[in-house]
Amino acid sequence: MKLKSVLISLFFILICPLFLFSQKVGINTTSPTSYFTVNQPAGQQISDGSAVMNIKYTGTNSGDVIGLDILSKPQQGFGTGVKIEGGETGAIINGGYVGIETHARPNLNQEGYGVYTDVTGTGGALYGFYALVQGLNNNSRTAVTGIAGGNAATNIGIFGSATEGTFNFAGYFNDGNVFVKNKIGIGLLEPIMSLDIFEDQAVARLSSDNTVNGSVLELRNSTTSPINYGAINFGPEAATPGQIAYLGSDNLTFRVNGSERMRINPSGLMGLGRTPATNRLEVEGNASKSTAGDWLANSDARLKKNIQPLDEAEMIEKLLALKGVTYEWNDDKTGSERPEGVQYGFTAQNIQEVFPTLVEEDAKGYLQTAYGTYDAMTIEAIRYLYLENQQLKQDIKEIRQLLGTTAGK
C-alpha cells in the first residue's frame, strides 16, 4: 500500500509537470515535433488490426461522451483538428450515432471547411468523399446532406466542379430519382422558374432510341378543370407575345403579338381569327392562296351513288326565284369581324325558300349556306337557255324560209 502511494506521488511529481508546464510531450521520442507525438519504437511491429493509440470508453451513462476532443483554432491561417495520413484507409470510425462530427469556426474572412479532402494518386478511381449508408430498418437513409444558411450573399448546400477530363460531371447520379424542391438554374444563379436555362443559345433536346415511341414532352396539371393545362410561351423578358396553350376547356389556342389568332376546339373545329362553332374550318375575314388555283375536292363518280340529272327547266325556274341584293353587315351578335361597305349576294332566308336543303343553322342559330353549290344548277339553267335559244333560231329560220316561199308566189 505504501509502495502504491509512492508511485502515485512520483507520477504527479514527474509526469504531470510535463503536461502542465512543458510545451511538447513525446512517447518513444525525445524530440517531439508537436504538443503530443507518438512514434513507433524502432524494430517493433504491432499486430494486424491493432491500434497505435486506443481510446476506449464503455460506461453506462446516458449523456454525451467524447472519446477524443481536439481544438485547433488559430487567430489566422488554417486550424486543422485532425490530419490523417495513412495507407489504404485514412480513418475508420465505428459506432455511435455520429461517425464524424466537425465544427469549423473561422475568424475574420478566413474560409472554413467542415470536411476537407485532397485525394491524388495514379491508381484506380479516386473519391474525394465516398459515403455508403445502409440499414435494417425502414427509416430514410441519406448518403450526403448539404445545408448552407446564414446571412451570406450566396449559400451553396453542395458544390461540385469537374474539368480536364474526357467526360466531366459536376454531379453524377446513377439509379434512383432526383428530387429538387425549389428551382433549378442552368447558367443562372437566381432562377425564376422551376427550370430556368440561360445561354447564348439555350437549347433543350429530348432524344430517344425507342423503336415504338419517340421523345415526349408532357405539360400536366393535376387540378380539376384548370383555366390552363399548360402553355409554351415565346418572346422577350416580361412579355408573352407568342403562346401555344391548352386550356382547361380542351381548346388549343395559338397567340401571336399578344392576341389569339387560331383555336382548335374539342370537336376538332378550327377557327382562324375566330372561335369555331359549326364548321371544320372557319375563317374571320378573307382567305387567299399564295398562287393561282382552286380549292379542290373529290368529285369522282365512283365515290357517289344515286346520280340523277337535274331538270333544266326546273333549275332556271328556281334560279330565277333567287333575288340578288346589295347589303351592309350589321353583325353585333356573333362577335365575327365583317367587311365594311356595300356587299353583293343573297339572303339565306331567300335561298332557304328555293333550296331548303342547302341552308342550315350554325351553332348560334344563324343561317349559313355554301355559294359554290349552285354551280351545277347554273350550268343546267344556261343549258336550258341555250337549247331554248337554239330552238328559237331554228324556228326563225323556218319562218323566214316559209315567208320567202310565199313571197315568191
Show me where the domains of the chain are located. Answer: 1-40, 310-409
Cα–Cα–Cα angle for 324, 379, 300, rounded to 5 degrees: 120
Confidence (pLDDT) at 133 = 80
Using DSSP's 3-state secondary structure scheme, residue 184 falls into strand
Output the CA–CA distances (angstroms, integers) from residue 28 to 21, 42, 309, in the order listed: 20, 9, 124
Reading the block at residue 286, the C-alpha cell is: 378573307
Residue 399: Cβ within 10 Å count: 10
Confidence (pLDDT) at 104 = 67
Confidence (pLDDT) at 18 = 52
Asked if 242 contacts 233 with a C-beta cutoff of 8 angstroms, the reply is yes
Output the CA–CA distances (angstroms, integers) from residue 47 to 85, 251, 333, in the order listed: 19, 79, 99
Say what the pTM is: 0.55
Residue 369: Cβ within 10 Å count: 16
Confidence (pLDDT) at 352 = 93
Mean pLDDT, consecutive 10-residue stretches, the chain (409 aa), reads 52 52 71 77 68 70 70 66 63 64 67 74 76 79 80 79 84 85 86 88 87 85 84 81 89 91 93 88 82 79 91 89 91 81 92 91 87 82 91 92 71
Reading the block at residue 192, the C-alpha cell is: 425564376
Reading the block at residue 227, the C-alpha cell is: 383555366
Confidence (pLDDT) at 177 = 87
Confidence (pLDDT) at 389 = 92
Closest CA to 256 of 246, 270, 242: 242
Determine if residue 139 is left, alpha or beta; phi over 0 gives left, psi from -120 to 50 gives alpha, anything else beta: beta
- What's the CA gap between 274 and 282, in Å, rounded? 7
Using DSSP's 3-state secondary structure scheme, residue 218 falls into coil
Q: Please, what is the end-to-end C-alpha distance for the chain in angstroms?
A: 185
Reading the block at residue 203, the C-alpha cell is: 437549347
Confidence (pLDDT) at 140 = 80
